[in-house]
Amino acid sequence: MDQTKNNIRALVRLFEQSDWDELRVETKDLKLVISKNANAPGLTVLENAPRTRLPSTADAEITDATEPAAKSEPAEIPEGLVAVRAPNLGTFWRAPKPGAAPYIEVGQKVNADTMVCLIEVMKLFTPINAGIAGTVVELVAENSAMVEYGDTLVLIDPST
């Protein structure tokens, strides 16, 4: 079920970034309707079920009556450090492929254009740059871990 929920979240994120008004996906186990129109036919909201509301301009909800919504608190960033954050949900990759050298290591100097990782969503890879010059202090996200929008991936000290 976790992978299905992750795939649904990825579809919602991609939908939000598109210019589409509606998306319908149907498989033997799932029927998903995402619409920016709250009155779209086929859109159902389950009453009295735990809900996970994704921050969205789209009118879409993921509900699962068997699992409560997970709450994640943002990690506290030490003073003077800058967090490189996930721009979208996906799988965090430190290297371009298995067995390859990682993009960055702790102690490495980076500039704003240095690629620090990839985030994969349904076989689409987004390169993530440092966005600031400095020294890599900590690799927060674990390789191959699922990350959410806004999660801290890397901490950089811009003073060094």
Domain boundaries, the chain: 2-63, 82-157
Q: Give the distance between the most distant pair of CA atoms in the chain.
A: 56
pLDDT of residue 26: 75
CATH of domain 82-157: 2.40.50.100
Each residue's pLDDT tens digit, 34-77: 777 655 555 544 443 333 444 443 434 444 433 333 333 445 88
Each residue's pLDDT tens digit, 74-125: 458 889 999 999 998 899 999 999 899 999 999 999 999 999 999 998 888 9
